[in-house]
Every structure is written in structure tokens, then in C-alpha cells.
Amino acid sequence: MKPVERWVRQMEATLRPDRVVWCDGSQAENSRLVEGMLKDGTLHGLHPKRAPGSYLHRSHPSDVARTEHLTFIASRAREDAGPTNNWMSPQEASERVFPLFDGAMRGRTLYVVPYVMGPLGSPFSKLGVEITDSAYVVANMRIMTRMGQAALDQLGASEDFVPGLHSLGDLSPDRRFIVHFPEERTIWSVGSGYGGNALLGKKCFALRIASTLAREQGWMAEHMLILELELPGGEIHYVAAAFPSACGKTNLAMLVSPFEAQGYKVRTVGDDIAWLRPGPDGRLWAVNPEAGFFGVVPGTGPETNPNALATIARDTIFTNVAVTKDGVPWWEGKDKSPPADLVDWQGKAWDGTGKAAHPNSRFTVAARQCPSMSPRWEDPHGVPLSAIVFGGRRARIAPLVFESRDWVHGVFVGATMGSETTAAATGRVGVVRRDPMAMLPFCGYNMGDYFAHWLRMGRALARPPAVFHVNWFRTDEHGRFVWPGFGENLRVLLWMIERAKGKAAADETPIGLVPTESALNWDGLGLSAAERQLLLKVDRSEWASEVPEIRAFFDRFGDRLPAELDAGLGALERDLAKVAV
């Protein structure tokens, strides 16, 4: 018996399903699943002409986002999970979590979902097998990964796969756990059908487990989009950018160039996860391990992201959006005025107050449907990076863009990133939290060790990408965003590429290199001089007021914090003080 068969047999004995189905990923299988879900109410059909091949799923109202407080790293030693992760001992997981799987699939079907993360046939791809009792999860995994027979063929009789056990359980948050065993490379998830908790290839494998594998094997698993930027004359650059959840990664990855006519083109490689490795040429190479997009729907409109709008025009699974009586999906930001006959995300007639679509409602759609995909998005070797960008959502403090002085300083900039929380995870929205490299909820091990790994990777790169920080979200005294964002973000990307090539002017500041006003193209934006200055301003006293909080954050890592980062904070503090006198 093959190792994967042995594991499925063992799990069957605990789960006790009525039926076992090995998924082949075919169209016929998907049609059967969809038919069943339409019958049992898991899916609702949508308008055959205005949303062809698309469906709506309404999740349980208590199961609409990632639940970080119920997400655990079950390493043998608590210190290996580190201070930013919830830790559960493997023993406690066996006693508290595993029993929730006992008989959990009685009366249900157990689906075996073999999948590949990364392009098929790429030397950097990895295999996973998810067991689930949710047909919705199967349908989503088919879009988000290379799922089915091809994965099973690639796996063969190998033991080298990440087993992931998922059951909806009773969907109660009291019995919901998402547990990762980094040493065993195993995932258990019970009590949630929500994407980030239940599609185990995504956050659980491609970030949390993959980050631990990457550290051992000398690569990196990051919460980053990857985009391709073509300059007039055909020169091509790739940029990877890390932003916390729901901060515009998908919009940036699918940016429509306002300067297309002049030969500046932007294409998409990935919108959420990047696996990075040093190449033989000393550069850092990036692969998107996913095959689809699981994106935030609200705010997706003709001005903000026309490429996403075109992508989701058909063959899309919508989760928790609103819908008209005749089945046209709708969400805040789709167009100016909501249709009259809307049913909200919970299936109730919408009275015009509150949100019609849930703020974390999602689309699941195949990447190949996106008109802006790069011809290299499935390149088995990936694409070489010219720049890495970190970004947060900050109403104050952070300027539009700055460049770090070198890789080590870039690691410091990433490690000290702060951002206001969003609806992508349950909990308060709009509170500033440290979210290093946008990996706070996704790093599968001690984040102090993760910083050390970043520093080590820099030493392995003869030609490292330049590292930047951006903030599209600075507001004025009336609380309005100053920077227009979306397509205009290209102007900032162009400054970065010029910097990476050793051109474009910048001013030294204590936090890094900020563009001189004339180095950025402001033409046609209609921004006043005061607005331009606000966007580029580095207010030393504001930054100084962040230092104690950053220090307290760093202190949590004790002796696992690399000395370079401690030194970086000391240098920042001294620089800020110097100018203040």
C-alpha cells in the first residue's frame, strides 16, 4: 500500500465516513460536486448570463474570516513557536483536538484531495494531500491548487507530502482549531469551512509549514504578491510585495498601467504567496505556488481593479456577497448604486443599512482567467526579483515610499512593519499592530529565528533585490486618503526600479531613502504642494514615539532576536535624536 493510502486508511478509522472519494480534479467530478451542493443548499446558482458558471456560498455567520486566536503551532518546544504564535503542545493537541475528529464524518463523505503547490513539474513544487468532508473545500482547492490525478501521479509511492486533516466538525468556534505540526509537517483543522482555515494548501501549507521547510532548506515562503513590470523598449523587472491581509495585494498585482500607451506595462504573477530562492546567478527568484485567487470582493470595481472584475465575470465561487433576486452578485464598491432588490450576505432582504456583502466576502477564481497574467506566471524556475516591497496601512507616520539602505536594513524595515488591522481576521479592525513582513499570522516558527533566516538569505545573494517600504493609506486632517492609489501606484514602482538601477534621486532620512520631490512623477495627479510634502514627510517626533513600542515588540524575542535588528533600532533611535537637537 502506498504511504498516502495507508494514511487515508488510518484517518478513515477515526473519522468513520459513510463514503470515501479520491478526487481526480476532472470537470465531470466538479460538475457532480456542484450539483450536490446546489441540492443541499451549500451553493446557490447565479444568473446564467451575468455570472455564468458562478455560484454563491453563504457560510455560517460565525465562520467568515481567519481565526488567529484559534490557530496554533504545535512544535515540541514552546520557544520554537515563539512569542507571536499561539502554542499548543503536540500532546495537548492529541488530547484536545484529535478527539474532535472522532466519528466526525459519520453520515458524510470523506474526500481525499491530492494537490501540488507550485507549477506542475517544477523542481520547487511541493505535494499536499487534504482530507476533508466539505465539497465546498474540494471545489475551492480545485481552483486554488493543481489538484487531482496530476498530483497523485506526481506523488506516486513517495512519502514526501504534507498531510492535512480537515473536518467542518460542528462549525462551533468553541470546537474550532487550526493546528500545525512543523516537525511532523502535518496540519489539523476542525470546526471551520472558511478559506484560510480550511483550504489547507494556502495559509497552512504554503506559508506556515512551508516557512519551516524553507528555513531548513535555504529558501523563503512569503506573504507576497509578484508582479511583472515592462519598461518602454522591453526591459522587464519583477517585484514582490508583502502587505497584510486585505491591504490591496490583489489590486497591486493586477494594476492597470496609466502609461500603457508610453510602453509601461504591468502583468500579474501572483497575488498572495511567493516562494523565493537564491538562483545560480545570485539573484532571488520567485514562484507563485497557487493556481487561483482567493480575493477580497468588496472594493473590487471598474476603477480599482478592472482586471479582477474581468477575471470574476464567470466561473467564480463567491462567498458571502450580496445578490439580486435574479442572481446577480453585488458588493460594496462594485458600482455606484446598489440594485433595489438586494439580498444581503446572510440571505436576508437588504434594507440599505449596514453592509450588503460581508467586508471579508471572497471570490475564488482560476488565475488563468485573469487578463493580466504574465506569460511567465507558471515558469517552473520562477522569475528574478529586482525589488521587494513591504507595505502597511498607516493613516499617519509612514511616507508614501522609502528605500532601505541595504539588505540588512531592509530586514529591519520589514521586521518593524506596522499596519492597521482589517476584516480578514476576526477581532478589532483599525488597530495598529506590528506585522513583520506581513507574516505575523503565517510564520510557522519563532519569528526571531525567521528574522535570522532573512539575514542569512541576504548573505546567500550576490545580487539581492533592493528593499522598499510603501504606504498608500496616509490621510489628511479630514481623514481622506491623500494618495490616489490603484493604477497611480505605478509611479512609485517606477521610482523603485530606477533606484534599483542606481538612478533616481533620494534624500537620506533616519528611516531610509525618501524620493526627492522631483524624482517622482506627479504629473496630472492634481496634488497640491502641501499634499506632496505630506506624502513624503518623515516626522521625526512621530517616528521617535514608535521606538518604545518597537523595542517592546523586539524584547519579546529575548535572545532569539538577531543582534543586527537590535543594533538597527539603536541606530534609528540615535539618528532620530540627532536631528531633533
Q: Which residues are catalytic?
A: 247
Residue 394 beta carbon to ligand OXD: minimum distance, rounded to whole angstroms: 18
Query: Site residues for ligand OXD, window 23-52 (CB under 6 A)?
Result: none
Which residue is at the shortest CB distance from Mn ion?
272
Regarding 421 and contact with Mn ion (CB under 5 A), the answer is no
- For residue 156, what are the CA distances in angstroms to 1, 20, 114, 116? 11, 19, 11, 13
In the complex, what is the shortest distance from the CB of residue 291 to Mn ion, in angstroms, rounded to a whole number? 15
Instruction: Say what the alpha-carbon torsion angle 161, 162, 163, 169 is, to the nearest 10 degrees.
Output: -150
**Within 13 Å of residue 122, how many CA atoms lie on the same side as its CB?**
24
Going 199 to 202 to 206 to 208, the CA torsion angle's sign is negative
Q: Which of 79-87, 185-193, 271-279, 536-544 is the region at the interface with Mn ion (rule: CB under 5 A)?
A: 271-279
Does 272 bind Mn ion (CB under 5 A)? Our answer is yes
> According to the binding rule CB under 6 A, does residue 424 interact with ligand OXD?
yes
Q: Which residues, including other chains, have CB under 8 Å from residue 380's CB and lie 6 or more apart?
A: 119, 121, 122, 123, 124, 125
CB-closest chain residue to ligand OXD: 245
Minimum CB separation of residue 245 from Mn ion in Å reads 5
Nearest alpha-carbon partner for 118 in 444, 367, 488: 367
3-state DSSP percent of the chain in helix, strand and coil, to 5? 35, 25, 45
From the list 137-145, 153-161, 269-277, 352-360, the region that binds Mn ion by CB under 5 A is 269-277
Closer CB to ligand OXD, 132 or 509, in the complex: 132
Strands 401-403 and 466-470: antiparallel
x/- binding map, residues 270-299, to ligand OXD, per CB under 6 A? --x---------------------x-----
Task: Kindly state whether residue 245 participates in binding ligand OXD, applying the rule CB under 6 A.
Answer: yes
| Nearest residue (CB) to Mn ion, 114 versus 392 | 392
β-pairing, 284-287 vs 432-434, is unpaired
Q: Where are the alpha helices (DSSP H) in 444-528?
A: 447-459, 489-500
Contacts to ligand OXD from residues 312-371, by CB under 6 A? none
What are the phi and psi torsion angles at 367 (to 5°)?
A: -60, -35
Element (H, E) at 571: helix 563-580
**Smallest distance, Mn ion to C-beta of residue 47, A:** 29
- Per-residue binding string, ligand OXD, 122-141, x by CB under 6 A, is --------------------
Could you give the angle at the alpha carbon of 354 between the alpha carbons of 353 and 356, nearest 5°? 100
Q: Which is nearer to ligand OXD, 238 or 294 (CB)?
A: 294
- Part of the chain binding Mn ion (CB under 5 A), chosen from 63-71, 205-213, 264-272, 527-535: 264-272
* Count of CB atoms situated within 10 Å of the CB of 234: 8
* Residues near 133 by beta carbon (within 8 Å), at least 6 away in sequence: 15, 17, 104, 105, 108, 109, 110, 111, 166, 167, 168
294 binds, among Mn ion, ligand OXD, none (CB under 5 to 8 A by kind): ligand OXD
CB of 147 to ligand OXD, least distance (A): 18
Where do contacts with Mn ion occur on this chain (CB under 5 A)?
245, 272
Where do contacts with ligand OXD occur on this chain (CB under 6 A)?
66, 195-196, 245, 272, 294, 424
